[in-house]
Amino acid sequence: DIEMTQSPDSLAVSLGERATINCKSTQSILYSSNNKNYLAWYQQKPGQPPKLLIYWASTRHSGVPDRFSGSGSGTDFTLTVSSLQAEDVAVYYCQQYYSTPFTFGPGTKVDVK
């Protein structure tokens, strides 16, 4: 199974500042035949189901603000919130969909400083 790790466990960022979350997989999730990274990011606010933010490591899902961006390849990935808004307070999860069982990272909690 592919294990996903995230860092940090939590972070507090001032409104308008940048938040950066890292995600690592225990093996490459870059599929060579299509050069796509099978990595997604989700946002989960308290009492709500997760919401898909980004897939293919860097493609924003429909309706996701452009302050959210994803980058990385192979085993190392980053989610960046370029200018944190109050409504971005949430737990963020990465997920690999390269192979089953699909696996999630443990989550990173983002708060306002």
Partner 1 sequence: EVQLVESGGGLVQPGGSLRLSCIASGFTFRTYWMTWVRQAPGKGLEWVANINEDGSEKYYVESVKGRFTISRDNAKNSLYLQINSLRAEDTALYYCARDLRVFDIWGQGTVVTVSS
**Residues found near partner 1 in the complex (CB under 8 A):** 1, 38, 40, 42, 44, 49-52, 55, 61, 93, 95, 97, 100-107
Q: How far is the CB of 16 from partner 1 (least distance, A)?
A: 28
What are the Cα distances from residue 58, in Å, to 39, 46, 68?
A: 8, 25, 9
Given the complex with partner 1, which of 74 and 106 has the nearer CB atom?
106
- The least CB distance from residue 49 to partner 1, in Å, is 4
**Strand locations in 1-113 (E):** 4-7, 10-13, 19-25, 30-31, 36-37, 39-44, 51-55, 59-60, 68-73, 76-81, 90-96, 103-104, 108-112
Find the shortest distance in angstroms from Cβ 26 to partner 1.
16
For partner 1, the closer of residues 53 and 81 by Cβ is: 53
Q: Using the minimum distance from each CB to partner 1, give the nearer residue, 44 or 71.
A: 44
* Shortest separation between residue 14's beta carbon and partner 1, angstroms: 26
Is 93:102 a contact under the CB 8 Å cutoff?
A: no
Residue spans of alpha helices (H) in the chain: none
